[in-house]
Amino acid sequence: MRKCLLFIILFPNLCLSQNIYNPYLLYENLGGMYDKDSLRTIDINFYNSDFNNILDSTFYNDPLYRLPAQIIFNNIILDSVAIRYKGNSSYTKCNSVVKKPYNIDMNDIISGQKLMGYKKMKLSNSWFDPTFLKELLATKIYQRYLPTYETNLLKVNTQGNYTGLYLNQEAINKQFLEKHFSEKDGAFFKCDPIDMLIYSPNLEFLGTDSSLYYNSYELKSDHGWSSLVNLIDVLNNTPSDIESVLNVDRVLWYFAANHIIMNYDAYNIGSPHNYYLYQTGDNLFQIIPWDLSESFINASGSTPTGILSDPYSIQPNKPLLNLLLNNQLYRKIYTAHLRTIINESLDTSWFLQNINSLQSLAYPAVISDTEKGYSNQDFFDNISQVSVLNQWISAQPLMPVILARINDLTQNSEINLTPPTISNLNIFGNYISAEVFGADSVYLMLTLSEYNSGFQEIVMNDDGQNGDVVAGDGIYTTNYQFPVNGDEVKFYIRAYNNDALILLPERAEYVFYTYSLTTGNINTSNTNQKNLLNVTDILGRSIIPKYNMPLFYIYDDGTVEKKIIFE
């Protein structure tokens, strides 16, 4: 929060400043379970030495069956944890007898048992990624724009023998919901079908009978089928009401991230699956990404060029994608999100820095991993060239794919349309202003919702009226009576012209400004009600309030205040 030193002559008054809500602080700090800068070891010791044959046989016949085991992690010993194999192709196409992907539940047998605060962990064998880095790098980027699971690298020993290097994936469960939404009791679905050749969680309306959706969506909560059917019904039959049942902006971020990162196994690009839906207390469903293993194309194609996805592609049988991209406002917001991710996250120096540090961290574990399914040289080579895994699958090279994507997107005509510019956001009294150029419309987007949703438009004007000091100077202003009870106000600025749109902050609505009278007050001793008429400099010229200069505030009760606000 900006700290101000306020000098007032005649009367004290309010000095208001905004803070930034940063959801990135929800993620693990150094030393936590998902510390990306450390490479720890987990020892898994099954009580039954025939664990592999048992878990292989139950994978299809009894997929929820778990075997008890002891684990040792970070000098913590836990007995009676419950383990099963997990995954789709990472299990079914894995040639290794022992390097299977694990689903580990600390809480299944002993209620309340946790490992470093977590009830469950998932270990991916990275079977199709010789670099071991693609999903990890992708999650780092997604986390900037929407709630996303955490990952790090982990060495695994089984029955005292080194099994190999794994990707440690945070489970998307009730703990994840509590972490990101401060609640966990809403309708909750994993959107993966029991058979992808027959069923699809593509959100098409099949009818009002909830049983029609049982094979396409997996209920993870105690209730929720009626809520899911209502969401799908509204989406397909009364789409103008979509914002009453869905956090649309969250979906737009999800769609944009999928295309930028080239996650080719997601709703809006490949098969519509690998996502979760959770209904928060405001009755809006939130989309949550899962299984980013096909990011940066990975094993989804044969070459890094010629298969780059079109971010504006309209596809049949995907009603949510088609609704949002065919809506002019949603499409502009989506394009603004694309532009933000390109500018912030397609940074080759960031990728190279992370690749170098993570490869140095992982190298000894990779060299010792004899079950990984590709050569030691592939670990290095797949950063810059294709690695052929078998006669059907090749792993795409990380950096050439990123460079091809940058070149492709920077030449996209719609992304290159010129948006307005927004700067110099200020709050003085009950007036909110920002300097905006190149816009046809400017709005303060504001909500009081505890769920960080339901932002409402308030028009901002540059007409010299209602608190706007000078017409046509590029300073857009609006008046908002902040709640006197200290309730926190959440807001951002949206400006657009006929071509494009921009947000401030650019990661809105995931990131936004916050303000409350309780935290914003420097001095509240002046309780007289009066309205600001004008602000002038020492020469009597009307001026937008600025820091570090003497200003005169002229009120309708005849009083004049001289202020200097130091930033």
DSSP 481-540: ---TT-PPEEEEEEEE-SS-EEEESTTTTTSEEEE-HHHH-S---------EEEEE-TTS
Spatial separation of the C-alpha atoms in residues 128 and 261, rounded to whole Å: 17
Q: Tokens 């192709």 sit at which residue?
A: 89
Compute the Cα dihedral for 19, 22, 25, 26 and give only its sign.
Answer: positive
Running DSSP on this structure, what letter comes out for residue 450? T
Report d(CA 75, CA 307) in Å as an integer.
46
Q: Which of 444, 458, 452 is nearest to 247 (CA)?
A: 452
Would you write out the chain's pLDDT as a tens digit for each of its 567 residues?
333 333 333 323 333 457 888 888 889 877 899 998 899 999 999 999 999 999 999 998 998 999 999 999 999 999 999 999 998 878 877 878 899 999 999 999 999 999 999 999 999 999 999 999 999 999 999 999 999 999 999 999 999 999 999 999 999 999 999 999 999 999 999 999 999 889 999 999 999 999 999 999 999 999 999 999 999 999 999 999 999 999 999 999 999 999 999 998 899 998 899 999 999 999 999 999 999 999 998 876 544 444 688 999 999 899 999 999 999 999 999 999 999 999 999 999 999 999 999 999 999 999 999 999 899 999 999 999 998 887 678 899 999 999 999 999 999 999 999 999 999 999 988 899 999 999 999 999 999 999 999 999 999 999 999 889 999 999 999 999 988 888 889 999 999 999 999 999 999 999 999 988 876 532 222 334 455 666 776 556 666 666 556 676 665 555 566 665 545
Q: How far is the CA of 353 from the CAs of 138, 262, 349, in angstroms?
A: 15, 20, 6
Cβ proximity of 487 and 516 under 8 Å:
yes
Q: What is the pTM of this model?
A: 0.88
pLDDT at 522: 24
Q: How far does the chain reach from its first CA to its final CA, in angstroms?
A: 11
The backbone region for 164, taken as left when phi is positive above 0, alpha when psi lies in -120 to 50, beta otherwise, is: left
What are the φ/ψ torsions at residue 271 (nearest 5 degrees)? -70, 135
The closest of 64, 170, 80 to 116, measured between CA atoms, is: 170
Question: Residue 84 is inside which H or E element, if any?
Answer: strand 76-85
Kindly give, in sequence order, each residue whose CB lies less than 8 Å from that of residue 511, ignoring residues fewer than 6 positions away. Answer: 20, 21, 22, 23, 505
